[in-house]
């Protein structure tokens, strides 16, 4: 079984809930008489996948124990002993993480049975439902299984039978997941860390509490093999064949073969007014003539063209194309631009030298995910991917761009699943055309692992709280809930399309942007600040691009607004002591977003708006300012390097924290960084003063 990644979201966890019935409660003498287990997959209990078995303990079953579980010596007569049963149990468990109520007792019982049977003990990872309930408000004053299940609305059938209690524990665990998520506990590593701390607290308070040993973060096995960084460094446009060869559908197969040879290509694109663009490849031609039919050579290629056309955007990273080809089992992809026009072809020949591990499936897993657990499993691969790329010294800006592209894909997929849910609920599809936008760091292509939601919707027409708006409000709610369940938490500032302030018609967006610029209140500055980093990711993209063009235009033509925006971007100071060392808080960390990244991002944004630089990424905005002679080349290069260094430090810290179950944030512990990176960060934060100077009124 593939080792579980520590950053696996709980909703995507594959686990087995277990329970044991025994001859007594004394761990030194108790023997197993019944074992029950049920599988948990994709955030749901799988009742059809269960194992229940009576076991001959080899000793007498005390009457007191029989009164509890109802199992007598007569019941176990003829049952296998544990040594005989163990292989069946191991095959069912398969190395899965175990779940149970006071599971430390069950594990201790199994450990002793293994010792008696002289079998090696495969110490499992385990989660205790009682401890998890204590991490939420669901435990209450009593945290026995009945009380927890009652609080969660879980019915228990067959109490004090091993399978009955295992099923109850499984349903309780699934019911606890949203309560844990609401408290910021989303991943396996986070829940293990929180449970460990709580178990230690309980042990100190009550004394003698038996808690299962959990593997340290350093011992956890990584779930993915090392990745080839090429597909993450390059875009599809870097490796595609272009221009595409377009031929009419009336072209004969004989003529198509001649074209393939003459052009030296392996595919031809076949446009059709009624059926869209199709594709024929060398293999299609060979199959068509392979039956020896002489007339086949005269057939029009429109008859054998494959449709619908499988595509990938030219701006996508290469790894997304690899994943799509692997999933579909094809050798050719059409490359399209933002308007869905075919601009090139991508073949396995293009990618032969750059194929990588199954990690390449990440992007396509998101694009094709049918449900939330599948999305969550794909999302859980990002921290390891980021870690491997950093180890290969891939530029942190490229890594953050990869993360951002997956957040955008995640949001788009959430919208598609949301549309499906609304349709299934009888509300139909979108009432008018719309576009979903991702804002903030992901919109800039600079998101890190500690991402939250920033998204908005623009729809073609409709009034606030009208029928169109109500439908999109429901869609925004679905999108927000799906992203939160997957592992991208709700935006604390409320920048989500489920909220009316971030969901409106094109006309109302135009009015809102004009009001932001005209009134120039502090909250308006924050709103339009993040809006300039927006990128459309799903739907009718032109709707979003239209209002973004308007925002840039009206902002650039309003000097008072530019001045106010520049003032809000100033004022940050480098977090350094008088001895030029990084100034940390009581926990030994420094917030590099607040004291380093934000001033650089905000400064580059306002300068780009003022000078009409239509770039999204901070480094591209700065480079545009250098190219247009609005920023000195030396100063600009220093700022670009500082931005890269701060991103590297924040991403490095987040990778370490994700493996240890520490809540991800922008706060960095300098002592945990390498000496070289720590020194680079110290130099990088001094660039804050340079940016403050650049956005000062006198420099305009």
Structural domain includes residue 113: yes
CA 688 to CA 575: how far, in whole Å? 10
The whole-number pLDDT of residue 224 equals 36
| Contact indicator for 212, 107 with CB cutoff of 8 Å | yes
Q: Decide if pLDDT at 302 tops 70.
A: yes
Structure tokens at 317: 């990273």
Mean pLDDT, the chain, integer = 86
CA 350 to CA 231: how far, in whole Å? 12
597-617: per-residue pLDDT in tens?
999 999 999 999 999 998 889
The whole-number pLDDT of residue 339 equals 84
The whole-number pLDDT of residue 362 equals 61
CA 456 to CA 382: how far, in whole Å? 24
Q: Decide if pLDDT at 1 tops 70.
A: no
Q: Any idea which residue has 């869209």 for tokens?
A: 276
Rounded to a whole number of angstroms, the distance between the first and last alpha carbons of the chain is 61
Tell me phi and psi for residue 696, to 5 degrees. -65, 150
| Angle formed by the axes of helices 396-424 and 372-379, nearest 10° | 180
Q: Is 217 exposed, middle or buried (0-12, 13-18, 19+ CB in 10 A)?
A: middle
Q: In 10 A of CB 427, how many CB atoms?
A: 14
Tell me phi and psi for residue 22, to 5 degrees. -135, 180
Q: Any idea which residue has 């590297």 for tokens?
A: 648
> 225 pLDDT band (50/70/90 cuts)?
very low
| Contact indicator for 690, 638 with CB cutoff of 8 Å | yes
**Which CATH number covers residue 495?**
3.30.460.10
Q: Decide if pLDDT at 544 tops 50.
A: yes
Do 510 and 550 belong together in one domain?
Answer: yes
| Angle formed by the axes of helices 522-531 and 559-569, nearest 10° | 90
Residues in Cβ contact with 152 at an 8 Å cutoff, skipping those fewer than 6 apart: 138, 171, 172, 175, 176
Do 404 and 345 belong together in one domain?
Answer: no
Q: In 10 A of CB 275, how many CB atoms?
A: 14
Q: Decide if pLDDT at 208 tops 70.
A: no
Cα dihedral 371→372→375→376 (10° resolution): -150
CA distances to 38, 64, 101, 167, 413 from 130, rounded to whole Å, are 18, 25, 6, 15, 35
Number of domains making up the chain: 4
* Most confident segment among 216-225, 518-527, 681-690: 681-690
The whole-number pLDDT of residue 521 equals 66
Q: Decide if pLDDT at 528 tops 80.
A: no
| Contact indicator for 335, 324 with CB cutoff of 8 Å | no
Q: Decide if pLDDT at 648 tops 90.
A: yes
Q: Decide if pLDDT at 27 tops 90.
A: no
- Of the residues 325, 356, 387, which one is the last residue of a structural domain? 356
Q: Decide if pLDDT at 209 tops 60.
A: no
Q: In 10 A of CB 273, how many CB atoms?
A: 6
Q: Any idea which residue has 């480079």 for tokens?
A: 623
Do 654 and 535 belong together in one domain?
Answer: no
- Of the residues 356, 377, 397, which one is the last residue of a structural domain? 356
Do 416 and 483 belong together in one domain?
Answer: yes
- Given its phi and psi angles, is residue 78 left (phi above 0), alpha (psi -120 to 50 degrees) or beta? left
The whole-number pLDDT of residue 353 equals 44
Q: Decide if pLDDT at 42 tops 70.
A: yes
Structural domain includes residue 570: no
391-427: per-residue pLDDT in tens?
777 888 988 988 998 899 999 999 999 999 999 999 9
CA 89 to CA 53: how far, in whole Å? 9
Q: What is the mean pLDDT of residues 247-274?
A: 88
CA 571 to CA 692: how far, in whole Å? 7
CA 332 to CA 257: how far, in whole Å? 17
Lowest model confidence (mean pLDDT) among 71-80, 315-324, 474-483: 315-324
The helices-and-strands tally (H runs, E runs) of the chain is 30, 16
pTM of the model: 0.72
With H, G, I as helix, E, B as strand and everything else as coil, classify residue 360: helix
Q: What is the mean pLDDT of residues 621-650?
A: 94
Question: Which one is predicted more confidently, 514 or 384?
Answer: 514
578-589: per-residue pLDDT in tens?
878 889 999 999
- Of the residues 501, 535, 557, which one is the last residue of a structural domain? 557
With H, G, I as helix, E, B as strand and everything else as coil, classify residue 458: strand
> 43 pLDDT band (50/70/90 cuts)?
confident
CA 685 to CA 643: how far, in whole Å? 9
Structural domain for 494, as ranges: 364-557
Q: What is the mean pLDDT of residues 459-482?
A: 96
CA 682 to CA 590: how far, in whole Å? 11
Do 410 and 428 belong together in one domain?
Answer: yes
Do 342 and 287 belong together in one domain?
Answer: yes
| Contact indicator for 541, 435 with CB cutoff of 8 Å | yes
Do 156 and 35 belong together in one domain?
Answer: yes
Structural domain includes residue 576: no
CA distances to 318, 319, 442 from 337, rounded to whole Å, are 15, 17, 20
Residues in Cβ contact with 668 at an 8 Å cutoff, skipping those fewer than 6 apart: 589, 590, 591, 592, 649, 650, 653, 681
Long-range CB pairs of 42-48 (<8 Å, 24+ gap) are 42/11, 42/12, 42/14, 42/371, 42/373, 42/374, 43/10, 43/11, 43/12, 43/13, 43/174, 43/177, 43/372, 43/373, 44/174, 45/17, 45/167, 45/170, 45/171, 45/174, 47/167
| Contact indicator for 224, 5 with CB cutoff of 8 Å | yes
Instruction: Please compute Rg for the chain using Cα positions.
Output: 30
Do 142 and 44 belong together in one domain?
Answer: yes
Structure tokens at 3: 């080792």
Lowest model confidence (mean pLDDT) among 116-120, 151-155, 216-220, 557-561: 216-220
The whole-number pLDDT of residue 213 equals 42
| Contact indicator for 113, 34 with CB cutoff of 8 Å | no
| Contact indicator for 366, 378 with CB cutoff of 8 Å | yes
**Which CATH number covers residue 136?**
3.30.420.10
| Contact indicator for 10, 99 with CB cutoff of 8 Å | no
The whole-number pLDDT of residue 260 equals 86
Do 329 and 387 belong together in one domain?
Answer: no
Structural domain includes residue 53: yes
Lowest model confidence (mean pLDDT) among 81-90, 113-122, 357-366: 357-366
Do 261 and 193 belong together in one domain?
Answer: no
Structural domain includes residue 416: yes
Do 373 and 240 belong together in one domain?
Answer: no
CA 133 to CA 2: how far, in whole Å? 28
The whole-number pLDDT of residue 291 equals 61
**Which CATH number covers residue 288?**
3.10.580.10
Cα dihedral 323→324→326→330 (10° resolution): -150
Q: Decide if pLDDT at 336 tops 50.
A: yes
C-alpha atoms less than 13 angstroms from C-alpha of 627 in its C-beta half-sphere: 10
The whole-number pLDDT of residue 361 equals 53
Lowest model confidence (mean pLDDT) among 150-154, 214-218, 272-276: 214-218
DSSP state of 359: G
The whole-number pLDDT of residue 223 equals 35
CA 572 to CA 699: how far, in whole Å? 17
C-alpha atoms less than 13 angstroms from C-alpha of 290 in its C-beta half-sphere: 7
The whole-number pLDDT of residue 285 equals 79
Question: Which one is predicted more confidently, 331 or 571?
Answer: 331
Q: What is the mean pLDDT of residues 619-637?
A: 93
Structural domain includes residue 128: yes
Do 613 and 659 belong together in one domain?
Answer: yes
Structural domain includes residue 3: no
Structure tokens at 424: 């299934």
344-381: per-residue pLDDT in tens?
998 876 665 444 443 445 666 788 888 888 888 888 88
Structural domain includes residue 583: no
| Contact indicator for 475, 459 with CB cutoff of 8 Å | no
| Contact indicator for 428, 550 with CB cutoff of 8 Å | no
Question: Which one is predicted more confidently, 124 or 323?
Answer: 124
């Amino acid at each position: 079984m593939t080792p579980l990644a520590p950053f696996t979201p709980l909703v995507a966890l594959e686990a087995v809930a277990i329970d044991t019935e025994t001859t007594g409660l004394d761990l030194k003498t108790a023997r197993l008489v019944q074992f029950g287990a049920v599988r948990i997959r994709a955030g749901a209990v799988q009742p059809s996948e269960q194992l229940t078995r009576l076991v001959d303990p080899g000793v007498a079953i005390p009457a007191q124990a029989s009164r509890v579980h109802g199992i007598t010596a007569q019941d176990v007569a003829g049952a296998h002993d544990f040594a005989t049963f163990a292989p069946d149990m191991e095959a069912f468990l398969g190395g899965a993480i175990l779940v149970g109520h006071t599971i430390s007792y069950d594990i201790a019982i199994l450990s002793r049975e293994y010792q008696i049977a002289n079998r090696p003990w495969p110490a499992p990872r385990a989660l205790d439902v009682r401890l998890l309930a204590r991490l939420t408000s669901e435990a209450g004053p009593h945290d026995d299984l009945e009380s927890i299940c009652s609080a969660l609305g879980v019915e228990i059938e067959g109490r004090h039978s091993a399978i009955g209690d295992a099923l109850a524990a499984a349903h309780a665990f699934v019911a606890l997941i949203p309560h844990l998520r609401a408290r910021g506990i989303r991943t396996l590593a986070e829940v293990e860390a929180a449970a460990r701390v709580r178990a230690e607290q309980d042990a100190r308070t009550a004394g003698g509490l038996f808690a299962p040993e959990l593997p340290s973060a350093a011992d956890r096995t990584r779930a993915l093999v090392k990745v080839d960084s090429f597909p993450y460094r390059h875009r599809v446009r870097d490796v595609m064949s272009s221009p595409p060869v377009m031929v009419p559908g009336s072209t004969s197969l004989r003529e198509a073969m001649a074209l393939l040879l003459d052009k030296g290509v392996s595919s031809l694109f076949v446009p059709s007014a009624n059926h869209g663009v199709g594709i024929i490849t060398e293999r299609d031609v060979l199959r068509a003539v392979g039956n020896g039919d002489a007339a086949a050579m005269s057939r029009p290629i429109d008859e054998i063209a494959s449709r619908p056309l499988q595509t990938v955007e030219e701006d996508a990273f290469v790894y997304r194309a690899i994943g799509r080809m692997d999933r579909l089992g094809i050798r050719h992809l059409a490359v399209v631009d933002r308007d869905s026009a075919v601009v090139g072809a991508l073949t396995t020949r293009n990618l032969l030298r750059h194929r990588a591990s199954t990690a390449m499936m990440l992007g396509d897993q998101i694009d094709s995910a049918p449900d939330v657990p599948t999305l969550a499993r794909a999302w859980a691969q990002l921290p390891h991917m980021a870690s491997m790329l950093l180890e290969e010294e891939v530029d942190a800006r490229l890594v953050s761009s990869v993360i951002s592209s997956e957040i955008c894909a995640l949001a788009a997929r959430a919208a598609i699943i949301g549309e499906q849910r609304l349709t299934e609920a009888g509300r139909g599809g979108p009432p008018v055309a719309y576009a979903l936008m991702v804002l903030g760091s992901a919109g800039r292509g600079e998101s890190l692992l500690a991402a939250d939601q920033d998204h908005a919707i623009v729809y073609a027409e409709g009034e606030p709280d009208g029928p169109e708006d109500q439908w999109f409000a429901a869609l925004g709610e679905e999108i927000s809930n799906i992203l939160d369940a997957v592992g991208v938490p709700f935006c604390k500032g409320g920048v989500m399309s489920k909220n009316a302030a971030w969901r409106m018609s094109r006309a109302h967006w135009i009015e809102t942007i004009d009001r932001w610029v005209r009134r120039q209140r502090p909250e308006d500055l924050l709103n339009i600040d993040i809006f300039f980093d927006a990128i459309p990711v799903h739907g009718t993209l032109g709707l979003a691009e239209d209002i973004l063009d308007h925002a840039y235009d009206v902002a650039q033509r309003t000097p008072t607004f530019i001045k106010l925006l520049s003032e809000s971007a100033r004022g940050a100071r480098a977090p350094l002591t008088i001895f030029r060392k990084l100034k940390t808080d009581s926990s030994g960390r420094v917030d590099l977003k607040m004291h380093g990244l934000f001033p650089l991002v905000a400064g580059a944004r306002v300068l780009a708006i003022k000078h009409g630089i239509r770039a999204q990424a901070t480094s591209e905005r700065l480079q545009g300012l250098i190219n247009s002679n609005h920023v000195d080349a030396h100063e600009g290069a220093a700022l670009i390097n500082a931005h890269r260094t701060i991103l590297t430090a924040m991403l490095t810290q987040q990778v370490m924290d994700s493996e240890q179950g520490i809540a991800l944030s922008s706060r960095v512990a300098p002592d945990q960084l390498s000496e070289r990176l720590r020194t680079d960060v110290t130099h990088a934060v001094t660039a804050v003063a340079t940016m403050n100077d650049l956005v000062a009124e006198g420099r305009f």
